[in-house]
Structure 1
Amino acid sequence: MRKRIMIFLVGLFLSLGANAQENKIEFTEYDLDNGLHVILHQDHSTPIVAVTIMYHVGSKNEDSTRTGFAHFFEHLLFEGSENVARGEFDKYITNAGGNNNANTSNDRTFYYEVLPSNELKLGLWLESERLMHSKIDEVGVETQREVVKEEKRQRIDNQPYGSILAEISKRAYKVHPYRWTTIGSLDHLNAATIDEFRDFYKTFYVPENATLSVAGDLDIEQTKKWIEEYFADIPSGKKEIPRPTIGFATKNWTIN
């Protein structure tokens, strides 16, 4: 009986290994000269593409007196750019038959578009606009302050046990920046100046702090050319990107 069980388990293990090899995802990975990390995956099974860009900034990168910035920027960077009028970002996507969204965690901020494959250039152009020259002005900041306030009221303040994550986090972490939630403090957002918002953008929304991935019904070499066209001329950041250091303070990071 034991011998039969062993034979069965060995066979199961080998079959799982074979399936893993069959399902291996092939991808192309490289960096632009400005530091932007790029990952491409070709899949012609359906005529769609996904354009995503992840910025290595989350709530853990915030100053403890200015929490909520990373999540706030997830909203603010849909306000438009020098070449995309206010409120038009989503319209470009929906008019092309696609959808888009974004989300923020402790560790990163993530934006994506899913589009028909013949609209790949549109997705790349929009993300290059977001990275290169998003619109950071008083109108956008005030608009998104109200949006974030309403989100907090709906998801936290007016929900049973809505504050449980915040209460757990501040008890679980005494020094680590995970001690505050991604939505942060509305008092901090209200107190922040437009220059502080612009400084956050210039610090973290730079090519060397981002990973662009494109997957779906695409041609690898053509996609590389379009990425070069839209992203290669975006300059690298001029400031050192602050990272949380636990246990001691640096000139860019203060632990209370």
Structure 2
Amino acid sequence: MLTELTAVRYVTPLREGGSLPGVVEAADDQGAYGTYVMKFTGAGQGRKTLVAEVICGELARGLGLRMPRLVQIALDPVIGLGEPDEQVQELLKASGGLNLGMEFLSGALGFDPLAFDVDPVEAGRVLWFDALINNVDRSWRNPNLLRWQGDLWLIDHGASMIWHHNWRTAETAAAKAYDASDHVLTPFGPDVAAAAERLAPLVTEELLAEVTAQVPDAWLVDEPGFETPDDVRRAYAATLLPRAKTVHERIILPGTDLKDATK
């Protein structure tokens, strides 16, 4: 399970995100403080966005990709009483309990494909990972990548695994091709074949069990069609495991034969 911290101060909203995430200071039970980007259970996108953030973020880490540390942050809504922004106040009031925090990378720059270069091997690994989780939010318009201390870091996976919004169609949806024609790393000649050879064998039942176990039960209870949170966890794993084996064959890049990618 993700480390649990307690929010002690709301610093500022991040208005670039549609869900209005915010920068907060949080402390562990030993009193050690840190700064995090908090995503709220009371945001309009709902708790499935947080589930996707956890599963995809921890899976990225398990595959050796750079991803800021994720934590659970307990929020007392009273922390928002002094906020002058009414929208922020309402969001904090609606988000009492556990929320998701991502370590704040101080000094990180948003990735600009015109300003930074990416090695084809690394570009291929990120693109393959995005195909695995069906990440539709890594375009040049909204890269969701950071450059920090000279390295590329992945953030914001809440729009991934869209099949979990309708589990009855999950198997069919997960088998579809991944259109990477608009992916921000496509211009860097991503070596998808090398990425598949390196990363696909790492996506095992054991890794997926470890990753899905990080999701708090509170975000999985009462999922229609499932009796327990563990049943939901197994459904995520059962969808991702077979996809990892063949998704590289269904990535649509510029110049890809659509017939081959959509078989």
The one of the two structures with greater contact order (alpha-carbon pairs below 8 A, sep at least 6) is 1
- Name the structure where helix makes up a greater proportion of residues: 1
Q: TM (normalized to structure 1)?
A: 0.31
Q: TM (normalized to structure 2)?
A: 0.31
Of structures 1 and 2, the larger Rg is shown by 1
